[in-house]
């Protein structure tokens, strides 16, 4: 793949991931609402949608790493930064801006996802208390 084609694919991938994150955020907000209502029936299909979106983001991140390696760079943030230093200033600025938008969107999604995990854990603990059971495998070792 030519460097130009690799750069175009990298840019498309970042834009696609940004759109995925923007679509994922309302799903995570809805998941939080359903967790607060303990609506298990509605949570199942929503959880599958969220899982699919997260899997797509993971595949895309892997592809970005492959592209960077194909360009002779490390498959990490340092490799991406090094790529930016080799690009014309206008293109580097555009790509850096897209990347920052994606990073911010990922941080928002991660915060929502962590909050939802906390809610789920508190529900599980409350259910265990009511049933007199435990879901903590370490409790069984005592």
Give the C-alpha separation, 75 to 48, whole Å.
29
Q: Kindly report the CATH number assigned to the domain that includes residue 16.
A: 1.20.58.300
Give residue 1's pLDDT: 83
- Total count of domains within the chain: 1
- Whether residue 138 is contained in a domain is answered as no
Whether the Cβ atoms of residue 97 and residue 10 lie closer than 8 Å to each other: no
- Whether residue 76 is contained in a domain is answered as yes
Give residue 36's pLDDT: 85
**Global pTM value:** 0.81
**Which residues have CB under 8 Å from 22's CB, separation 6+?**
105
Whether the Cβ atoms of residue 97 and residue 108 lie closer than 8 Å to each other: no
Give the C-alpha separation, 6 to 27, whole Å.
31
- Whether residue 83 is contained in a domain is answered as yes
- Whether residue 142 is contained in a domain is answered as no
User: For every one of its 142 residues, what pLDDT tens digit does the chain have, with 9 covering 90 and above?
Assistant: 898 999 999 999 999 999 999 999 999 999 999 988 888 888 899 999 999 999 999 999 999 999 999 999 999 989 999 999 999 999 999 999 999 999 999 999 999 999 998 888 876 776 666 677 765 555 555 5
Domain containing 61: what range? 3-133
């Amino acid at each position: 793949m030519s460097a130009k084609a690799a750069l175009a694919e990298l840019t498309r991938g970042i834009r696609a991931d940004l759109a995925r994150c923007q679509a994922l955020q309302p799903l995570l907000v809805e998941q939080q609402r359903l967790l607060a209502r303990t609506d298990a029936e509605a949570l199942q299909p929503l959880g599958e949608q969220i899982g699919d979106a997260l899997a797509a983001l993971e595949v895309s991140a892997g592809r970005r790493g492959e592209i960077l390696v194909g360009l002779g760079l490390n498959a990490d943030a340092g490799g991406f930064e090094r790529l930016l230093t080799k690009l014309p200033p206008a293109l580097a600025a555009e790509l850096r801006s897209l990347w920052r938008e994606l990073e911010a969107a990922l941080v928002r999604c991660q915060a929502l996802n962590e909050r939802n995990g906390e809610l789920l854990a508190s529900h599980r603990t409350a259910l265990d208390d009511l049933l007199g059971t435990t879901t903590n495998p370490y409790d069984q070792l005592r």
